[in-house]
Homo-oligomer: A and B are copies of this chain.
């Protein structure tokens, strides 16, 4: 296990009002940082006061987007413990993202240890109100001062922490989702299954279009045939069709979500029939029309479960679960958040306590 140096801040910031946290705008007193240089490997892991990075304007991250990130949360339990949810999954996915982007991976145990250590140092920043959490953002950026297009020989790995408000201030609330058939997020053979900055830059234009139409997020179709469902802006997507739970099969252009995997595990554990397969938009339209599209919901770290009340494809506006919250969506939300916050016993070994 790496020995992480700790330099504590001498000017701790005031803790924010827990009712006005929002998402990703407030940062804690400290951050974790580690450097990579060719020949030395990853070195000098340290926790330092949160503060700016000084980078040469030619640093590769500014030009060629050689960068990856992860996202997970730490939760306060009612009995004063702090839990992480499946951080091993984030460490594994981070390694896969790094390999796809030619970034030297951080060893998985060091990745998890970095998160546990910095969360432990800023433990007082974890909000305690229901629905709040500490959002954890590990990320790696390429730092070579060189305009040639090639994998960087130096990097920085950071973990920053942001206390975050309840996604749904007053209980689950269904969202409206826009199915996009013009812009494409990713294609097989590309970087869609990596948590790479470039995928998000590519998504902004369609998000702007769906915003203008009054929709919360974009549901992407595959880049080849533009007919198969892939994922939502920041979530994976599930359907309940004629009693079966259906979600797109991971195909190389879909992000393998940790909440997605947990929902699949729970549904199977509950004895539901589950299918990971291709789902065409035509199948959805016809299921919506014949009444067999029982439910639709997104899964992701930010909202955990987002019931979808309306799906729109072209002129077709599909209302689902009467525009409300389906029973499976509610059950998954209650169970996953219950395990995350220690209210429900974790029989799967998904939670990891931060001491």
Q: CB-CB contacts of A191-224 with B at 8 A, as 1s and 0s? A: 1000011111111110110000000000000011
Q: Which residues of B contact A58 (CB under 8 A)?
A: 24, 27, 137, 160, 162
A3 to chain B, nearest CB (A): 22
Min Cβ gap A212→B in Å is: 12
Count chain A residues whose beta carbon lies closer than 8 angstroms to a beta carbon of B: 65
**CB–CB A201/B67 < 8 A:** yes
**With A and B bound together, what is the CA distance between A233 and B150 in angstroms?**
10
Q: CB within 8 A of A63: which of B54, B101, B102, B197?
A: B197
Of the candidate stretches A78-86, A113-121, A140-148, A321-329, the one touching chain B is: A140-148
B54 and A24 within 8 A (CB): no
Query: Inside 8 A of A205's CB, which chain B residues have their CB?
Result: 100-102
Q: Could you say which residues of chain B place their CB within 8 Å of the CB of A312? A: none
> Which residues of chain B have C-beta atoms less than 8 A from A64's C-beta?
197, 200-201, 204
Q: Give chain A interface residues in 43-62, CB to chain B under 8 Å.
A: 50, 52-58, 61-62
A17 at the interface (CB under 8 A from B): no
Q: Report how many copies the assembly holds.
A: 2
Neighbouring B residues of A61 by C-beta, 8 Å: 61-62, 197
Output the nearest chain B residue to A22 by Cβ-Cβ distance.
B148
- Chain B residues with CB under 8 Å of A150's CB are 204, 207
- Over the window 127-144 of chain A, the binary record of Cβ atoms lying under 8 Å from chain B Cβ atoms (1 yes, 0 no) is 000000001010101000
Q: Is A341 an interface residue (CB 8 A)?
A: no
Query: Nearest Cβ distance between residue A312 and chain B, in whole angstroms?
Result: 18
Segment of A180-188, A257-265, A345-353 in the binding face: A180-188
Q: Does A94 contact B (CB under 8 A)?
A: no
* Distance (whole angstroms) from the CB of A218 to the closest CB of chain B: 11
A149 CB–B CB distance under 8 Å: yes
Residues of B within 8 A of A182 (CB): 189
Residue in B closest to A62 when the chains form the complex, CB atoms: B141
Q: Does A36 contact B (CB under 8 A)?
A: no
- Bound: A96/B102 CA distance, A: 28
Give the residues in chain B near A186, CB-CB below 8 Å.
Answer: 190
Q: Which residues of B contact A223 (CB under 8 A)?
A: 187-190, 223-224
Inter-chain contacts of A100 with B (CB < 8 A): 205
Closest to A226 in B: B189
A positions within 8 Å CB-CB of B: 23-25, 27, 31, 50, 52-58, 61-67, 69, 100-102, 135, 137, 139, 141, 145-151, 158, 160, 162, 182-191, 196-205, 207-208, 223-224, 226, 233-234
